[in-house]
Structure 1
């Protein structure tokens, strides 16, 4: 949307917006690809740059179908692989195992040893599969566990594995679970919890009926990750990729091949001199691997018995963890079955991080102003004085404008820190990105944004929420106008976009400033909306949407309406049936040829009285069974009805117009005929009682 500038520089200053860090990591597609890659850089988690530790809760499906989709319990091997890669200390681990309900909830506890990891795995394995799939209850319980905050200040992660969509024995229980799922997603968005979901869609078992969209939605809505696998053998590779993504690290291939005729395999690898907290050696050989020896740069050898104490087994993988490893060249000696295949890879857990700041940062800069950026390399969350780190790592700084143009900045080292200068030559929004690289390790700092001749939009702070009422047979009407939600000192008009949402992309539209729900795929949720000015500066705010299903009320109101209609109809019917005739009817049949040919009289009691009851024998062309008198309960008149149109003279209807309903006044004669000529018919008189 175009915008009109009011002036280039804001007169009244406002605090600059702090931007969120985007994780620096890419998903790898299969474990074999990971193991075949050349040595990759280790990427430190910038959002958790001081410790790279997390509160992690596993949510594992234990419904009855898991006996078919994962008969060999390979999901636990995948969990074991993830646990084996976790840093030996500092992470907090919890878990939920669920089916119809939560069967196991393991509170957050700190992982301090390999024994803690094995105990957690044993807890998860203790629940036998059986029952339905109550996704909502499981995710809510995971959120409840995270609220314990075992590791204060640590980011929260949920790892969710299931083989199916929400499925419960009754519609009511399923709807409750879906509502709980929506609540859990919203809680995760508000608390910054990222959910990484895995869909085990074993087509050979459930004929591909599982729709992975539900699991993908959970992941995307919370900023996590999603993977779909069709074979439980692939689960370990997925959990390994999730570990790499969460902890911002990648595996490095350090050797592969076959055991020689003596059952021996040798390879060398290097460990950086600084910045490495742990080294995870991943051996993929399964039961063919019988031993692993590691020789340090100092010449000291860790025997197979020594390394076994440091190893966690996960199906065909073995993870050997070296804590505080000696930097330099190492030698690995594996023993196993002659001719068997073996692949060795390595994953670092790093203590390295990077911090950056703009010295004496201004709220708004002018053209020609200089912004000086200071970068500090840290280990274990503290500024490092280790000369090896300062010598081995190279700091790079780039600045990106609102158009996406990236410009590198010069970096100079001063007193253990790194400085860069940026001089603004044009108005706009500029974002600094800082990284440190060396010894095969890469770490990034949180981006910093400055504004030149411009200030970011400001959210007005008013909570935006809307409720959509879902009525059967009616289109959904739920929209909210975002105009005015944010204001900008320089721009009259802002551009609005959706950064993230609880809802699927095809369930809403954002047209200009109008956010409209097309469908509620979950019962409640929120949008993160970005208001951007013409120079790329922006602010984010939340918009909340919830639905209220009116199906029950529609059914209730419809039912009440039908009941009232039936009651009124019944009352009306009985009222009509109970009305009395206060008089007597005289009926004479006539023809033009013969004149009056038959006379009769009757005094009905109440309700309806058919003309055929008069016992007329003369056929004058009128349908006697279809004509009846209706009592009015009065002596002044009664009514005459015919199921087919006839002609009547002397009533309230013109004689030349056929009709079906007529008034018969007392002491007044009316004439009935099948045609307008009245050549034959009936003369009727209603004589009231005295």
Structure 2
């Protein structure tokens, strides 16, 4: 039985365990190397926070009768990294049918949870685009990481179909949509729209307007079969990558060779998507001629009814041989998207002010994992230009940069006493990168913004800066130690009375009939300290066994689940270890099969 209060002895023991941890925090915060660690972390490759916004109204039955939309969305999820990308899902009609908060992907199981959610979506009557867009924006507002790249991917036919017997008017819907799009624009949430036009009734203007206003892109197609290709384009566009068409083949029943060229050692992942209407099998050989198992430690495989996705992790540079075998006469499309660990930065300008007639020397470098790339062949394989925009006139000058060494360099002459924006763009066949923007005011002679100088070696500071920084670190660290200790004691005392946030979606599956109850949304705010699953099920006598499952508040708005001996809790189809507390974050789904009755409790935690 879990205690609702901590006794003094327990509190003392916990403090004993906390003191070494707090001391470690003090040392780390006081260390001058903390700054270097933070800098390295900021150089990590871009992560995506994506909300998949899906119209599930009945009209989509005509536009997408084979549910290729769901398959395409699942392929998009498979293309994401398992190292921190987030995905949320909003399915709407004239209301939010189902929703999944942003889930941080850390494993193949997390991806499977998202794909299972998509498979479980049902159709409904009527359509109100504003409802979907507004909710997608809220999902990003509530869970997007400031360091990630947020985006909304919307799949719809662009037409509203409001319930005539309801109180909602088209004018109200339009006003709400305008407000939602404005919020997305202000917060930097680009909306990528995909319009299905199989029945010829697509409202292109609405969807194109959503994308134009928010900085996304609009795609249209007459065939749902094009969706996997479009989703690949969106994924690539958002991360400044390019889809590389490998080739299309007509299957002949035997293995056919396809060359996949990995251009350099900065490739984090190579996503090979194989689209076909019939099942395919594949073999893979690395550049040394060694056959590589699919799947294996460095080769991931995801399969569906319409695609296969092979993901190579940190692949060796060179030509890989892919062998594909399909059903005779089946058309197989193969595309390639690389994910790079590369950034492009402009060196700080040598002068703090410039005027008409001055010439500015521009130098730009590639960075991998926070370190400057010094391999000249990587620069030579790319084309780089300086994009100089006269913001007074709107004119853009494109100046080729020299790439003969381990840098991109060139010059720009200021022709007028105007404001200018300068940035470097470098690209090759599979990706492009853009640097930060330098803003120059040639009217007053000021460089209003500039990236940090890179000429000083990493970690080197002036002597006075080091001494004052170290003193400041120790002072701040001491204060933090006192604050953290005080907060820790206060938190332990308050643990027993902590409240809960969010809600639990509850369904009961009958093992005899296979029938499942309608989802019930149980708000958790009424519980304090702890509650049992039996309480959540309104103390139904036949489900008394569920009182062995106990929930307590966790950190960061999460739940901790513990269960007694004799009851099993499953996650992703496998029994979970709850002895030390199973942590549930928003979007997590679990099931609890009961032993005394042939029923399974299905739970999803949402915030």
Q: 1:439 to 1:113 in 2, by over 3 A?
A: same
Q: Structure 1 CA distance, aligned partners of 2:180 and 2:419? A: 36
Equivalent in the alignment of 2:423:
433
Superposition deviation, residue 360 in structure 1? 4.2
CA contact (8 A) 2:156 2:195 kept: yes
Give the Å deviation of 1:123: 0.7
Instruction: Find the counterpart in structure 2 of residue 202 from structure 1.
Output: 198
Quote the residue 2:174 is aligned against.
178
Which structure features the higher share of helix residues?
2
1:248 aligns with 2:237: no
TM-score, with length taken from structure 1: 0.53
The structure 1 residue matched to 2:183, chosen from 184, 187, 210, is 187
1:76-225 alignment, distance < 5 Å? 76-169=70-163, 170=165, 172-174=167-169, 175-203=171-199, 208=201, 210-225=202-217
| Residues 341 and 368, structure 2, Cα contact 8 Å, conserved in 1 | yes
Larger radius of gyration: 1
CA distance, structure 2, for counterparts of residue 385 and residue 293 of structure 1: 35
Aligned residues: 402
For residues 540-559 of structure 1, the aligned pairs below 5 Å read none
Q: Which has the higher strand share?
A: 1
Offset of 1:200 from its aligned partner? 2.2
Residues 315-363 of structure 1: CA deviation (Å, up to 9, x unaligned): 4322211111111121111223345443322111122220114424535
Write the distance in 1 (CA, Å) between the matches of 2:59 and 2:329: 38
Deviations 1:208-267 (A, max 9, x none): 3x533222222222122222333333333332332232223222232333344x611012
Q: In the alignment, does 2:371 pair up with 1:371?
A: no
Matched-pair contact (CA < 8 Å) for 1:50–1:353: no
- Which position in structure 1 is the counterpart of 2:65? 71
Structure 1 segment 385-396 matched on structure 2, within 5 A:
389=378, 395-396=384-385
Q: Does 1:287 align with 2:283?
A: no
Alpha carbons of structure 1 residues 53 and 453: separation in structure 2 relative to 1, 3 Å? same
Contact 2:152 / 2:192 at 8 angstroms: preserved in 1? Answer: yes
Please show how residues 411-560 of structure 1 align to structure 2 within 5 Å.
Answer: 411=402, 418-424=408-414, 426-437=416-427, 441-453=431-443
1:133·1:167 contact (CA, 8 Å) conserved in 2? yes
Aligned partners of 1:200 and 1:110: how far apart in 2?
29
Distance 1:190 1:150, change over 3 A: closer
d(CA) in 2 for partners of 1:177 and 1:197?
A: 18
Cα distance per residue 1:28-63 (max 9 Å; x no partner):
xxxxxxxxxxxxxxxxxxxx9963322100111112
2:258 paired with 1:267: yes
Consecutive unaligned residues of structure 2, counting only runs of 5 or more, are 1-41, 449-607
CA contact (8 A) 1:274 1:388 kept: no
The structure-2 alpha-carbon separation of the partners of 1:154 and 1:441, relative to structure 1 and needing over 3 Å to count, comes to closer
Deviation of 1:389 (Å): 4.3
1:438–1:144 CA distance, 2 compared to 1 (3 A): closer
Q: Which residue of 2 aligns with 1:301?
A: 291
CA distance in 2, matches of 1:49, 1:200: 38
Question: Are positions 1:313 and 2:303 aligned together?
Answer: yes
**Match for residue 219 of structure 2?**
227
Distance 1:440 1:197 in 2: 23
**Whole-Å separation in 2 of the counterparts to 1:63 and 1:69:** 11
SS at match of 1:321: strand
Mapped contact 2:277–2:330 kept (Cα < 8 A) = no
Q: How does 1:53-68 map to 2 (within 5 A)?
A: 53-68=47-62
Corresponding residue SS for 2:147: coil
| Cα distance in 1 between the residues matched to 2:153 and 2:409 | 40
Q: SS where residue 432 of structure 1 aligns?
A: strand
Match of 1:238, SS state, is helix
Change over 3 Å in CA distance of 1:412–1:307 after alignment to 2: closer
CA offset at residue 151 of structure 1?
A: 2.3
Distance in 1 (alpha carbons) for counterparts of 2:240 and 2:409: 26
The 3 A distance-change label for structure 1 pair 96 and 327 is: same
8 A contact 1:409–1:422 mirrored in 2: no
**Structure 2 match to 1:18:** none
Distance 1:303 1:409 in 2: 44
- Other structure's SS at 1:173 match: coil
Superposed CA deviations along residues 502-533 of structure 1, whole A, max 9, x for unmatched, are xxxxxxxxxxxxxxxxxxxxxxxxxxxxxxxx
1:355: which partner in 2? 345
- In 1, Cα distance between equivalents of 2:358 and 2:369: 35
Question: In the TM superposition, what are the counterparts of 1:581-592 in structure 2 within 5 Å?
Answer: none
- Residue 568 of structure 2 corresponds to none
User: Structure 1 segments of 4 or more deviating over 6 A?
Assistant: none
Distance 1:407 1:234 in 2: 34
Shift in Å, 1:190: 1.3
Separation in structure 1 between the aligned mates of residue 43 and residue 399 of structure 2, nearest angstrom: 23
Instruction: Output the TM-score relative to the length of structure 2.
Output: 0.59
CA offset at residue 445 of structure 1?
Answer: 1.7
Q: In the aligned structure 1, how far is the partner of 2:237 from the partner of 2:380?
A: 28
Question: For the Cα contact (< 8 Å) 1:308–1:320, is it kept in 2?
Answer: no
CA contact (8 A) 2:102 2:140 kept: yes
Correspondence for 1:587: none
* Structure 1 segments unaligned to the other structure (5+ residues): 1-47, 459-690
How many angstroms does 1:154 deviate by?
A: 1.7
Asked if the contact 1:293–1:307 (Cα under 8 Å) also holds between the matched residues in 2, the reply is no
For residues 622-641 of structure 1, the aligned pairs below 5 Å read none
Contact 1:59/1:138 (8 A) holds in 2? yes
In structure 1, distance between residues paired with 2:384 and 2:278: 44
Q: CA contact under 8 A between 1:352 and 1:379: conserved in structure 2? A: yes
Q: CA deviation at 1:105?
A: 1.6
How many angstroms apart in 2 are the aligned matches of 1:75 and 1:212? Answer: 18
Q: Which residue of 2 aligns with 1:553?
A: none
Shift in CA distance, 408/348, structure 1 to aligned 2, threshold 3 Å: same
Is contact 1:263-1:339 (8 Å) kept?
Answer: no
Which residue number corresponds to residue 51 of structure 1?
45
Q: 1:216 to 1:273 in 2, by over 3 A?
A: closer
SS at match of 1:147: helix
Structural RMSD (CA): 3.3
